[in-house]
Amino acid sequence: MVNLLRRLVSLTVSLGIWGGGVPPLLAQIVQHPVPEGIPHNADFAVMVRVPGGEWQELFEYSVPVDMHDVRYASMVHFDFAGSVEVSVTSNRGAIASGQIRPLSNGLTPEIKGNTLTFVLSKPCNLSVEIDGDRFHNLHVFTNPLETDVPAENDPDVIYLKPGIHTFPRNILDVSGGKTVYLAGGAVVKAAIRCRNVDNVRIRGRGILYQPPRGFVVTHSSNVTIDDIIVMSPRHYTFYGGQSRNLTIRNIRAFSHQGNSDGIDLMSCSDVSVDGVFMRNSDDCIAVYGHRWNFHGDTRNITVRNSTLWADVAHPIHIGTHGDPANPNVIEDVVFSNIDILEHDEPQLDYQGCMSINVSDENLVRNILFENIRVEDFTEGQLVNLRVAYNKKYASAPGRGIENITFRNISYHGSRANISILEGYDATRGIQAVIFENLTINGRLISWQMEKPASHFTTADLARMYVGPHVDGVEFLPPGGAKPPPETPRQRRRAQP
């Protein structure tokens, strides 16, 4: 009966029978069981209901965050169709203020005493923050209803039922052509690994809990991962090496240990990352060339519709690792429709919400950052582009950075350090960097803006240091209109 209702909801929406979304009578909430022994966080009491229906209590998972000073946040998750009301009661006392991020969702909570409520009309991934506390916050992860659950007895399916699952050496190896399905309530204490395989799908509403790594995909192709939550991996959430045709959708992840990156791609190509929420104590998304036993260029990577929260290091990082003996190219990478919620890195070498920092003879080119909203963060830089020689992780400087576009980038805040653009030498520089429709606290940064004095540059007003061996940096208004050519007299006047 439940599967029939889910199919009816899906059919109704796809055919447009109900113009405003899911009909109220078909609105539905699906919770998933929680195995014994999973840590609970009592900071909040969270309930959800269909408007006018009975409230349902949710289980608040305890999730450690931030390796600087490990604290315990909360997380709830459920599936729904239609609209739902969410009630969050703080067990720590009255709520003075509440915020739901990303702010781009436009959700304003109603607050009464120690309870905060809001309405969801579509699945999304959120952080509910009480009185500005980002470390004891509540993460709300929601999905649409499942409509294509595989059969338990399908020989091509590894079906993991609700309950705790362990595997030898904490690794579940997957053969080619298989589907791994984690039913809601399945908790897997292992990494899921694809090595030298093709045509694998990993999906479901389950959780990877304290695995050595989350997903490991190496020397493989045509691998798709959907909807899983990853809690407290000791290393990467997703570790991709020399693989192609990868799809990563709606993964939600937390990490709090050293080197516990989110999604790392090394010598990979044709990768789509869509709808992820990554809260990591290292880089959220990292794109490299050669590393370890992975060889070759990296190209055609797209990350979109996602939320990135770096308690340490970079939300987005490109370029450190490569192969000086056989230099790599990292090219044709797109980051689109991204919310950056945090960046907290005291080391200057590792700052930058959007960072391209090339070493190891890498050449990085044709990179697009578009429709990226950066909320105020703790410590770091908005942008860091450098051709460098990071001797801790590399064996040579990088070759260069070329054709980088930042389009429709907004930053609202006051704590960003000065951004840096800097080449290495005359043959290892940065060329052609375009900022189009960059806004900082609502102020458009472009060549058209009025300057305090003639010797000021637009980069000064963007709080960007454009260092040596950097050519072709432009700040353009929406639409990309370029300034008229300067006359010799104008250039003389511009001298300080």
Q: Is the pLDDT of residue 494 over 90?
A: no
Burial of 414 (0-12, 13-18, 19+ CB in 10 A): exposed
Q: Which CATH class is domain 27-143?
A: mainly beta
Contacts of 260 (CB under 8 A, 6+ apart): 67, 233, 234, 235, 236, 237, 280, 281, 282
> pLDDT tens across 387-434, in order?
999 999 999 999 999 999 999 999 999 999 999 999 999 999 999 999
Average pLDDT, integer, range 478-485: 92
Q: How far apart are the first and last CA of the chain?
A: 77
> pLDDT tens across 365-384, in order?
999 999 999 999 999 999 99
> pLDDT tens across 199-244, in order?
999 999 999 999 999 999 999 999 999 999 999 999 999 999 999 9
**C-alpha 464, offset from chain centre:** 24
Contacts of 148 (CB under 8 A, 6+ apart): none
Given this model, what pLDDT does residue 488 score? 53
Q: Could you give the CA distance from residue 193 to residue 211 in angstroms, rounded to a whole number?
A: 11
> pLDDT tens across 105-132, in order?
999 999 999 999 999 999 999 999 999 9
186 has which bridge partners? 163
The domain segmentation of the chain, as residue ranges, is 27-143, 235-488
Q: Is the pLDDT of residue 165 over 50?
A: yes
Given this model, what pLDDT does residue 20 score? 43
Q: Among 167-176, 398-407, 487-496, which stretch is predicted with the lowest mean pLDDT?
A: 487-496
Q: Could you give the CA distance from residue 341 to residue 100 in angstroms, rounded to a whole number?
A: 11
Q: Could you give the CA distance from residue 85 to residue 107 in angstroms, rounded to a whole number?
A: 12
Q: Could you give the CA distance from residue 479 to residue 476 in angstroms, rounded to a whole number?
A: 8
> pLDDT tens across 326-364, in order?
999 999 999 999 999 999 999 999 999 999 999 999 999
Task: Retrieve residue 368's tokens.
Answer: 């697009």
Average pLDDT, integer, range 160-176: 98
> pLDDT tens across 23-58, in order?
555 679 999 999 999 999 999 999 999 999 999 999
Q: Could you give the CA distance from residue 371 to residue 347 in angstroms, rounded to a whole number?
A: 27
Q: Is the pLDDT of residue 3 over 70?
A: no
Given this model, what pLDDT does residue 485 score? 81
Given this model, what pLDDT does residue 11 score? 37
Of the pLDDT bands very low, low, confident and very high (cuts 50, 70, 90), residue 16 is very low
- CA distances from residue 284 to 67, 171, 236, 424 in whole angstroms, order as listed: 14, 23, 9, 26
Q: Is the pLDDT of residue 147 over 50?
A: yes
The single residue listed with the structure tokens 């990303």 is: 102
Of the pLDDT bands very low, low, confident and very high (cuts 50, 70, 90), residue 194 is very high
> pLDDT tens across 245-292, in order?
999 999 999 999 999 999 999 999 999 999 999 999 999 999 999 999
Given this model, what pLDDT does residue 27 score? 77
Given this model, what pLDDT does residue 454 score? 86
- 418 three-state secondary structure: coil
Given this model, what pLDDT does residue 493 score? 54
Please state, as a whole number, how many other Cβ atoms lie within 10 Å of the Cβ of residue 491: 9
Question: What's at 371, amino acid-wise?
Answer: N
Given this model, what pLDDT does residue 26 score? 67
Pairing of strands 277-280, 263-266: unpaired
**C-alpha 152, offset from chain centre:** 32
Contacts of 78 (CB under 8 A, 6+ apart): 29, 30, 31, 32, 48, 58, 142, 143
Please state, as a whole number, how many other Cβ atoms lie within 10 Å of the Cβ of residue 343: 31
Given this model, what pLDDT does residue 9 score? 42
Task: Retrieve residue 142's tokens.
Answer: 């929601």
Of the pLDDT bands very low, low, confident and very high (cuts 50, 70, 90), residue 447 is very high
- Contact, 422 vs 470, CB < 8 A? yes
